[in-house]
Chain A
Amino acid sequence: MKSPVKPLMALAGLAALMAGCASDPGPKPSAELEEATLAVQEAETARAQNQEPALMEEARSKLTRARFLLEEQRHTEARQLLEQAALDARLAEARAGTQAVRDELGALMASIESLRNSLAAQEQ
């Protein structure tokens, strides 16, 4: 399988080295892509879109940019964006979870209030 690809890759590597840290391809961040995609999906399931639209938008746009960078073989930049996207989504999910409990607590407080009023009315 000798092909002209190898010298080309070496050349590309050299170019990358010369360009310093800007365009180091690094290993392909497959696991990071998977985790970021999953994190965004799970956050959407947890209704994070309603609670944290800005954070979800950030996660999604990083994911989109990362996919584009992956096609360009810019693996390091892509990995960073994917790692960030995953945590943006996880934070949005966590906040949505907190808000859900806060809502339940609010409903409980309202029901306690109304029960107290009923009880006070009965005591008269």
Chain B
Amino acid sequence: MKTLLITRGSVITLAAFISACASGPTEHAGLAESRASYEQAIEKDHVVRNGLAHLRKADTALSHAETLLAERKDSEELDHQVYLADRHLAIAREKALRAELEEQRIMAERERDDLRIRLGERRAQIAEMEARMLREQMGRLQAEQTDRGMVMTLGDVLFEFDQAELKPASEETIERLASFMKDYSNYRVRIEGYTDSIGDPDYNQALSLKRAESVRNALLRKGIAPGRMEVAGYGEAFPKASNSTRTGRRENRRVEIVISDSEGNIKNR
């Protein structure tokens, strides 16, 4: 159909060429086609809404062309007016298309913002859940919040008297600590030994360091990387209780495990 029209158009153009501007033909395929596509365009709300100025100019050009055709004169100006009408129609349609895309863009922006909010909420939920799990883990380790962070205390009862070796009874505690460190691989620990004030301070310092090292070696055997552990022996320093009573001294004989923050930082004494 379209091919036929174009062929007819060419024939008419040829005819117009031959007859020059003296007497034009009474029909013009391009004009008829252009008028038809104008009629289609004004049926479409979004084309009218967004391309009204261009539709009006197309109509003016088409009317001009139709007058020229009726008066059978100036076929070049006729072709020109049809050209202008076609361009105006194309621009009107393009503006309508753009408006449609703009609407889609607004919807997409809304959807994106909504998804961003949902993702943010979900991430906050997960972070909160993880924090809760961590608190539970710390609770299981019987770690206490101190100004140096979470600190887990291994009591004197886990060591042989005056020895650095851990008793078999310490196994469960060490296992809990190792399992925590495996689950939270960003965390590090600082293992610190302490004694009471009975005896030679140098001896006590050495003993406290050996006990801290025992704990580190036990964790090493559980597969914890050496770089994640620091050890220190403080001897009689930093007592937790008075050394003048039996229970106070027992409280002072201990190994403290200071747990880092989530980035692996530990506050030193």
Contact = CB atoms under 8 A, between A and B. Distances in A.
Interface string B53-84: 00000000000000000000110110010011
A123 interface: yes
Given A21-B74, A122-B122, A83 B98 contact: no
A69 interface: no
Interface in A104-124: 104-105, 108-109, 111-112, 115-116, 118-119, 122-123
A99 to B, nearest CB: 9
A116 B105 contact: no
Contacts of B202: none
Contact of A80 (B77, B87, B126): B77
A60 interface: no
Contacts of B126: 122
A16 interface: no
Contacts of A76: 77
A102 B122 CA distance: 31
Given A111-B112, A119-B122, A91 B91 contact: yes
A73 interface: no
A83 B80 contact: yes
Contact of A87 (B88, B105, B115, B122): B88
A52 to B, nearest CB: 11
B220 interface: no
Interface string A81-92: 001100110110
B7 interface: no
Contacts of B115: 112, 115-116, 119
A108 B112 contact: yes
A98 B123 CA distance: 37
B111 interface: yes
15 contacts: A20-B22, A21-B73, A22-B21, A76-B77, A83-B80, A90-B87, A91-B87, A91-B91, A94-B91, A94-B95, A105-B104, A108-B112, A112-B112, A115-B112, A115-B119
Interface of A: 20-22, 76, 80, 83-84, 87-88, 90-91, 94-95, 97-98, 101-102, 104-105, 108-109, 111-112, 115-116, 118-119, 122-123
Closest 6 CB pairs of A and B: A87-B87, A115-B115, A94-B94, A108-B108, A21-B21, A101-B101
